[in-house]
Amino acid sequence: MSEQVFNITDFQSIVENLQEKVRNTCFRYVRNAEDADDIAQDVFVQVYESMSRFREDAQLSTWVYRIAVNKSLDFLRSKKRKKRFGQLISLFKSVGDNEEIIEIPTYCTPEKELEDKERKEVLDWAISKLPDNQKTAIILSKYEGFSNKEIKEIMNMSLSAVEALIHRAKKNLHNALHDYFEKHI
Amino acid sequence: MSKKERIQKEIDKTLGLFEQHESLPPNPYFYTRVQQRLIEKLRKEYSFSTVLKPAFFTALIVLNLTTAIWYTTSDDLTNRSEENIELTDILKSDFNLDDDQTESLIFE
């Protein structure tokens, strides 16, 4: 879509058509509805601003999802930096001032089955431990239902690389969950 | 059931959650918020290009002019002080003044 053809009506239809998937993709990363909405709004602002640079040979939705993935990862990185800084600050505070930073979700008694909410927390924790590219591949594949071909376009890599990433992500998830349940059962 | 089997069961159940699609509820104000952000961003860019940019260039020109004026004036001052030193030397030798007297002469 060229700059001349692109207008505000086009933009509105782009937002309306893609907002749901963009918001949900962002949500898979940040696990907070407000943050996800905030990032998704940023995504569309960037789409509006960069429309002239969009290559017609790529699919518009793929390009928008790529922006969403990058922005979500940027958000997580900046959150991690802030957390590290917070931990550094807490070193200089007295012990009583320290806020507990929960890394691993709590698990209920072995006799009781995990509720879905708790289990989701465990899965989110395991996903959060994955490297960024594996995390993106598994989120797009498993949560958002993108095909490997679509993921290849979004992540700008070969099909075999995407398949390998998903395979490694599943293996790493399995290992992380195994370690977790071994400690908690 | 052995511990290994229980662990495998828990892992399968947890990974099975991928199939349960948890989606955000629709946000009817989403497009309006995107519009607001765009307007806010454009307003900031506009204020920079229409107010801050001319103000910055005006300040730059004023600074340039001030520097030029100061440079010319300070050149005059240097010349004058050189003339003063020459005059003080002449007076010092003519009236046989010592350093203290010469200094007081300069200040007066």
CA distance A54 to B41: 20
Q: Which residue in this structure is represented by tokens 């203290």?
A: B100
Q: Under a CB-based contact definition with an 8 Å cutoff, are residues A37 and A23 in contact?
A: yes
The answer to whether the Cβ–Cβ distance between A174 and B24 falls below 8 Å is: no
Please report the pLDDT score of residue B76 as a whole number. 60
Q: Under a CB-based contact definition with an 8 Å cutoff, are residues A62 and A154 in contact?
A: yes
Whether the CA torsion A104, A108, A111, A116 is positive or negative: it is negative
CA distance A184 to A96: 28
Residues of A in contact with B31 (CB under 8 A): 12, 15-16, 19
Q: To the nearest whole angstrom, how far is the Cα of A80 from the nearest Cα of chain B? A: 24
Torsion of the alpha carbons at A99, A104, A105 and A111, rounded to the nearest 10: -130
Please report the pLDDT score of residue A4 as a whole number. 44
The answer to whether the Cβ–Cβ distance between A185 and B13 falls below 8 Å is: no
Closest by Cα among A41, A20, A39 to B25: A20
CA distance B4 to B19: 24
Please report the pLDDT score of residue A105 as a whole number. 54
pLDDT in tens, B30-63: 999 999 999 998 888 877 777 777 788 888 999 9
Q: pTM, whole model, 2 decimals? A: 0.69
Query: What was the ipTM of the complex prediction?
Result: 0.73
Closest by Cα among A182, A174, A60 to A126: A174
**Burial class of residue B46, CB neighbours in 10 A (0-12, 13-18, 19+):** exposed
Q: Tell me if chain A has a CB within 8 Å of the CB of B26.
A: yes
Q: Under a CB-based contact definition with an 8 Å cutoff, are residues A146 and A178 in contact?
A: no
CA distance A134 to A173: 10
Tell me what percent of the residues of chain B surpass a pLDDT of 70.
89
The answer to whether the Cβ–Cβ distance between A20 and B22 falls below 8 Å is: no
Exposure class string for A97-116: b at 16+ Cβ within 10 A, else e: eeeeeeeebebeeeeeebee
Residues of B in contact with A126 (CB under 8 A): 14
CA distance A64 to A14: 9
The pLDDT of B10-21, averaged and rounded, is 86
Domains of chain A in sequence order: 1-97 (1.10.1740.10), 105-185 (1.10.10.10)
The pLDDT of B10-37, averaged and rounded, is 90
Q: Tell me if chain A has a CB within 8 Å of the CB of B13.
A: yes
DSSP state, residue A98: P
What is the three-class DSSP state of A131? coil
Q: Tell me if chain A has a CB within 8 Å of the CB of B2.
A: no
Q: Considering only alpha carbons, which residue of chain B is nearest residue A31?
A: B24
What is the residue-wise DSSP string for A27-58? Answer: HHHH--HHHHHHHHHHHHHHHHHHGGG--TTS
> Per-block average pLDDT, block size 10, for chain A (185 residues)?
59 93 94 94 94 78 94 94 76 51 49 70 92 95 92 95 96 95 86
CA-based radius of gyration for chain B: 41
How sure is the predictor about B79, in pLDDT bands with cuts at 50, 70 and 90?
low
